Amino acid sequence: MRRLPIYLRALHELLDEDVQIVSSHELAERTGLSPEQIRKDLAYFGAFGRRGVGYETRILASAIRDILGLNRELRVALVGAGNLGTALARYTADRHHGVRVVAIFDSDPHKVGTRIAGVVVQPLDQMVDTLRQRQIRMAIVAVPATQARRVIDMLAEAGVQGVLNFAPTKVRAPRGMRIHHVDVTLELQSLAFWVTAEGEVSGSSSGGEPSSWQVRQCRAEKEYPPRQ
Amino acid sequence: MRRLPIYLRALHELLDEDVQIVSSHELAERTGLSPEQIRKDLAYFGAFGRRGVGYETRILASAIRDILGLNRELRVALVGAGNLGTALARYTADRHHGVRVVAIFDSDPHKVGTRIAGVVVQPLDQMVDTLRQRQIRMAIVAVPATQARRVIDMLAEAGVQGVLNFAPTKVRAPRGMRIHHVDVTLELQSLAFWVTAEGEVSGSSSGGEPSSWQVRQCRAEKEYPPRQ
DNA sequence: AATTGTGAAACACTTCACAGCC
DNA sequence: GGCTGTGAAGTGTTTCACAATT
């Protein structure tokens, strides 16, 4: 499921290059995945390819957009008009990925009424009514962690079914809602494991008792055998 | 590996509440993971708990920070001082998660010299030298997709070992570098699968040939049996 | 009695190998 | 010959069940 958008991106690149037919090997090359995996994934949703030939670029792209529900542009609400929210709103406005921020809400009265990427910021207490009325079913949450739970409950009440949450808290998804979490802190902290701290030597250790950074080295060497 | 930061966050919450001892069940409750998984994870790095008692909150938190290399604050560079970059810089400055943006680079001359969260923005062509000199080993890339590859090559040249990439392109990690990708487009598009398009009824279908949204419904019901 | 640590079983996911088509 | 589609094998991860420990 998470890989379909990756294929879609590669297919759009190929379409820009006027490539009509693409093989699983070519797609693998461009996505960094294996040809078998791509074939399995695509076959799961039905037979889109022709044996001995490959996949028809335009048809496959359209099929994937259809599976994802992106053939009509999906309207998304943004909650939280800070720097992060602004970046996201502008981003979806620039290129058309099938998803676009069409409503923005913030609790700060100073922000209400301003425009971001052409969309007027509305007060938070108008959110539930507006989303219901406009039948918006997806939202991006870019508010402080303390407000996330309340905002997500409100979104559930408004009938929102999918949420992309940037707030650094693990909130359980209400019934009927799916939440994808983007947690920068978690990413940075887990990435930290792979970098050597200052003062550490990146070569082999010189005796002494096993310390945590040796664990780190050991683990690191599992995935990067040569490591320089 | 990716779960250690989750445990760490829960442990810090517990420490704020002056909880001295915590069981795998309590941690499971707070993280949404299973007790067995937590025990397996922690046991993998060594025995931190006492049978019949639980885990000592402070010691476990410290051990995890040690494994991740976060007991000394990790200095990180930010490349790209747009809205997204600004949000991230401010975010790491506010709370101390063991990771902090201490250098910012941008190619826009208008941004160079300004301050974000107390850090002066430097021109991109000073990046490699500055990072080498200050021994900065981790970076956040928040530049347009077109620049991402070049920036990441420069970071590799500067000795950076870990990169958190927000640019919507899959760049292969250079030797000795680990890249974590945060791709908002991909997240939004895969989330789109789970929401019903406007006009669709969320109940059962009324005959006709199987269409993609029925696939969507079918898949959705696998993970959310009741779904309302 | 409560809780960890851990081998075994179950499960999920990926890769392999090749049959079936073009 | 080249490529897809797919059962089978392989690999990795999660859950189960329980022995070990306080």
Q: How do residues A67-111 score in pLDDT, each as one tens digit? A: 999 999 999 999 999 999 999 999 999 878 899 999 999 999 999
CA dihedral A53, A55, A59, A64 (to 10 degrees): 160
**And the tokens for B183?**
């791709």
Q: pTM of this prediction?
A: 0.92
* C-alpha to C-alpha distance for B66 and B60, rounded to whole angstroms: 10
CB contact under 8 A, A185 and B224: no
| Residues of chain B where predicted confidence (pLDDT) is lower than 50 | 204-214, 219-228
pLDDT (0 to 100) of residue A219 = 47
DSSP chain B: -TTHHHHHHHHHHHHHTT--EE-HHHHHHHHTS-HHHHHHHHHHT---EETTTEEEHHHHHHHHHHHHT-SSPEEEEEE--SHHHHHHHHHHHHS-SSEEEEEEEES-TTTTT-EETTEEEEEGGGHHHHHHHHT--EEEE-S-HHHHHHHHHHHHHTT--EEEE-SSS-PPPPTT-EEEE--HHHHHHHHHTTSPPTT--SS---SSS--HHHHHHHHHHHH-SS--
Hey, how many other C-beta atoms are within 10 angstroms of the C-beta on B28?
17
pLDDT (0 to 100) of residue A204 = 46
**And the tokens for A137?**
């079913």
* C-alpha to C-alpha distance for B108 and B131, rounded to whole angstroms: 19
**And the tokens for B52?**
């019949």
Order of strands across the sheet that contains B21-22: B21-22, B54-56, B49-50
pLDDT digits (tens, 9 = 90+) for A2-25: 999 999 999 999 999 999 999 999
pLDDT digits (tens, 9 = 90+) for A126-145: 999 999 999 999 999 999 99
Q: Is the dihedral of CA A83, A84, A88, A89 positive or negative?
A: negative
Query: Strand B119-123 to strand B115-116: parallel, antiparallel, or no bridges (unpaired)?
Result: antiparallel
Give contacts of B216 with chain A, Cβ < 8 Å. 67, 69
pLDDT (0 to 100) of residue A211 = 44
**And the tokens for B27?**
């941690």
**And the tokens for A115?**
């425009």
Asked whether A195 and B162 are in contact (CB, 8 A), the reply is yes
pLDDT (0 to 100) of residue A201 = 63
**CA-CA distances (angstroms) from residue B106 to B126, B152, B164, B182?**
10, 14, 16, 20
More confident residue, A223 or A3: A3
What residue type is A206 in one-letter code? Answer: S
Residue of A nearest to B213 (CA): A67
Give contacts of A194 with chain B, Cβ < 8 Å. 161-162, 178
CB contact under 8 A, B187 and A184: no
Query: Strand A74-79 to strand A99-106: parallel, antiparallel, or no bridges (unpaired)?
Result: parallel
pLDDT (0 to 100) of residue B96 = 81
**CA-CA distances (angstroms) from residue B46 to A29, B42, B142?**
40, 7, 37
**CA-CA distances (angstroms) from residue A209 to A151, A213, B71, B171?**
49, 11, 19, 38
Does the CB of B29 sit below 7 A from strand C? no
Mutation target for A interface from B38, B64, B190: give the one with most A CBs within 10 A. B190
Nearest to B153 by CA among A157, B163, B144: B163
Task: Please state the length of chain A.
Answer: 228
Residue of B nearest to A199 (CA): B135
pLDDT (0 to 100) of residue A203 = 53
Nearest to B28 by CA among B17, B15, B12, B39: B39
The C-alpha of B20 sits at a distance from chain A's nearest C-alpha, in angstroms, of 22
